[in-house]
Amino acid sequence: MSIESLVKENIKSLKSYEIPDISCPIKLDAMENPYDLPEEIKELVREKISGFNRYPDPLSNELRKTIASYLGMNKEEILVGNGSDELILNILLTFKSNRVVFPTPTFAMYKILAQIANSNPVGIPLTDEFELDDEGILKATADATSIIFLAYPNNPTGNCFSKEKMLRIVEESEGLIIIDEAYFEFSKETFLSVIDSYPKVIILRTFSKAFGLAGLRCGYLVAHPELVKALLKVKLPYNLNSFSQIVAGCVMENFRYLLQPQINQIITQRERLYLFLKRLNGIIPYPSDANFILFKTTKVSANTIFSDLVEEGVLIRNLTEDIPNCLRVTVGSEQENNIFMEKLDRICRRY
């Protein structure tokens, strides 16, 4: 008996999730918030840390109340997870789907988690302008129980899809639709209000981006209470540790005063980076509603630009395998962006 024969068929073809081990002083590859937590929040957290000898609240009640009041919703409409990744997996384990449909390119975990859940992932290519093929998505979901994932703004293209196309999919498709608003705080565009009229819509958000807590692994979803009840049957009892529950609550309670200025700064920097990239010879940037910018290289290969930047101490994301000659840069602090711009400008002049 071989060990290989013990592994489920749907798992055999998967690769383990690995990130290339490249460390650079300037890290602009993962859409993280470039700023550490404000001191005021750290102080609040210090006052609250005790009781780690006990299991965490399995229902994360305090945090769900905080999120509910932040959004003007009810606690019963909120579920928290160990990153939104965990929530995506739980959605796929809870609800029926012969197909998991998403546009391509998009966030890689929809496909990977669909394969893990033994469903059938179906990618429908975006148009050349990175717009949804609403017709194609509706066709793919017409004859099967489906779950549709739509990242809004989309990763890695950075754009919000047309509202009309999104609403058409919401109105005309059967089955669940997950609108992943991981970058909402940068786009300020949301479909939260549609869940009252369309209980099959789930809104997904995360603390990993604007809230600056990527290391704590905390995401949440907003959905009809009946959907939340079903998801609670699948959720592991203690999915979110006590520390993450405390910190996420403190950050959200203070978001408007202490973190919103950081977000405004990142949006200003995004516009500055976009204009800079637009002026560079051999670079075509795509407009972004998120905290990152996708750009294409036209004179030199993306692989060359990527490795030259790494040599200069700047790490961005090389997407050339998914979108030929495309790279993605996360908007950093003003100082980090200055270094990125100076290095990239110099590299582009070389060729």
Q: List residues near ligand PMP by CB under 6 A.
A: 31, 83-85, 107, 151, 155, 180, 182, 206, 208, 214, 219
Residue with Cβ nearer ligand PMP (218 or 227): 218
Q: How far is the CB of 176 from ligand PMP (least distance, A)?
A: 16
Instruction: Return the bridge partners of 292, or none.
Output: 330
Instruction: State both tokens at 278.
Output: 């637009």
Q: In whole angstroms, what is the distance from residue 212 CA to residue 244 CA?
A: 12
Q: Taking CB positions, which residue lies at the least distance from ligand PMP?
A: 83
What contacts 39, CB < 8 A, 6 or more positions away? none
Q: How far is the CB of 317 from ligand PMP (least distance, A)?
A: 10
- The 10 Å Cβ neighbour count of residue 16 is 4
Residue with Cβ nearer ligand PMP (146 or 206): 206
Q: 3-class DSSP state for residue 203? A: strand
β-strand pairing of 26-27 with 99-104: unpaired
Residue with Cβ nearer ligand PMP (280 or 329): 329
Q: How far is the CB of 298 from ligand PMP (least distance, A)?
A: 26
Q: How far is the CB of 248 from ligand PMP (least distance, A)?
A: 11
Q: In whole angstroms, what is the distance from residue 63 CA to residue 69 CA?
A: 10
Q: In whole angstroms, what is the distance from residue 84 CA to residue 92 CA?
A: 12
E-strand ranges in the chain read: 26-27, 78-81, 99-104, 120-125, 146-151, 176-180, 201-206, 219-222, 283-285, 292-297, 314-315, 317-318, 326-330
Q: In whole angstroms, what is the distance from residue 333 CA to residue 336 CA?
A: 5
Q: In whole angstroms, what is the distance from residue 93 CA to residue 231 CA?
A: 9
Q: How far is the CB of 159 from ligand PMP (least distance, A)?
A: 12
Q: In whole angstroms, what is the distance from residue 63 CA to residue 243 CA?
A: 11
**What is the CA angle 69-162-168, rounded to 5?**
85
Residue with Cβ nearer ligand PMP (56 or 219): 219
Residue with Cβ nearer ligand PMP (214 or 258): 214
Residue with Cβ nearer ligand PMP (85 or 336): 85
Q: How far is the CB of 194 from ligand PMP (least distance, A)?
A: 18
Q: In whole angstroms, what is the distance from residue 153 CA to residue 264 CA?
A: 17
Q: How far is the CB of 117 from ligand PMP (least distance, A)?
A: 16
Residue with Cβ nearer ligand PMP (220 or 276): 220
Residue with Cβ nearer ligand PMP (93 or 144): 93
Task: Find where tokens 């203690």 sit.
Answer: 238
Q: How far is the CB of 232 from ligand PMP (least distance, A)?
A: 19
Burial bucket for residue 33 (CB in 10 Å: 0-12, 13-18, 19+): buried
Residue with Cβ nearer ligand PMP (210 or 309): 210
Task: Tell me if 88 sits within 8 A of 79, measured CB to CB.
Answer: no
Task: Tell me if 147 sits within 8 A of 95, measured CB to CB.
Answer: yes
Task: Tell me if 44 sits within 8 A of 250, measured CB to CB.
Answer: yes
Q: How far is the CB of 33 from ligand PMP (least distance, A)?
A: 12
